[in-house]
Structure 1
């Protein structure tokens, strides 16, 4: 498979929304409370795209994955119970989702590899992420890719596992 990772554009909105809805249902069916409170929603997705923070993973012309990538922009990360590895510029990755018929094929890892390349292109060497304590698949993905557990952050009243990876140009 040949993938492309690019900024999302408004014409991608409906397919991204469908992928997000699939992911929200998968989390619910897994017994998770993650994304069961009206987040993420269309307004968040629209803001991602409008602010050039939305990115899609495509196979050919087909959008098969999505994430938001922000630069130095996650206020909740200043309230970590624990300690980040670094204190300089960083990318934040939120809302990593893969289309249902592509789930389980390592594409979340592919998205994170692409984010590492994006970080290096921007001369940023830290990537920070978080996930629910019950999102075992994402926790394993972070750990396999060398993300280090740094502590807990809280979003909408819910504690989440926080990770950081220092990326270095080889």
Structure 2
């Protein structure tokens, strides 16, 4: 299993995985990634062009996707809590796995691969968030060694998120 940057040719498969993830969240009665909140093809294309989108490959097949975003995230600046340290960080967003592999701890591997990319880039601070009741994602975040830092709020309905950080 390995991680590589997403190419434009990967877009149909990435969007298929995102659609599966959004459907799974809806089945769990979670408002995360519903309606306009779901990552769009336009957003993924933007991530690809900025070299921030990654795919996880297993036996030649894309089984996961995520973005590792550089720069200050305005939503992350208004945390009800406290980040450990200040300075440059990367944010992990738009994490999704093929539903056929759910429950096999592949999410942890995806996050660990992204942490390796961050370390390779010399970044020692990585942040991530999830909807407060998205327990499967929260377990995955904790299993990859992140610590809870507080609550943030995206500017849309059901925008509240638990925020986590890992110092490398």
TM-score normalised according to structure 1 size: 0.93
Provide the residue aligned with 1:47 in structure 2. Answer: 46
Corresponding residue for residue 63 of structure 1: 62
Structure 1 regions of 5+ residues with no counterpart?
Answer: none
Q: State the alpha-carbon separation in 1 of the partners of residues 56 and 26 from structure 2.
A: 24
Spell out the pairing of 1:122-161 with structure 2 (5 A cutoff): 122-155=121-154, 156-157=156-157, 158-161=159-162
Number of the residue aligned with 1:28: 26
Deviation at 1:70, TM superposition (A): 0.8
- The number of aligned residues is 165
Q: Determine the C-alpha separation between the residues in 1 that align with 2:107 and 2:73.
A: 21
Unpaired runs of 5+ residues, structure 2, are none
What's the CA shift for 1:86? 1.8
RMSD of equivalent CA atoms? 1.1
- Per-residue CA distance 1:122-157 (angstroms, 9 max, x = gap): 111111000001110111111222211111111124
Question: Which residue in 2 is equivalent to 1:13?
Answer: 11
* Aligned-pair CA distance for 1:94: 0.4
In the superposition, the TM-score normalised over structure 2's length comes to: 0.94
CA–CA separation in structure 2 for the residues paired with 1:145 and 1:13: 26
* Residues 37, 152 of structure 1: alpha-carbon distance in 2 compared, 3 angstrom cutoff: same
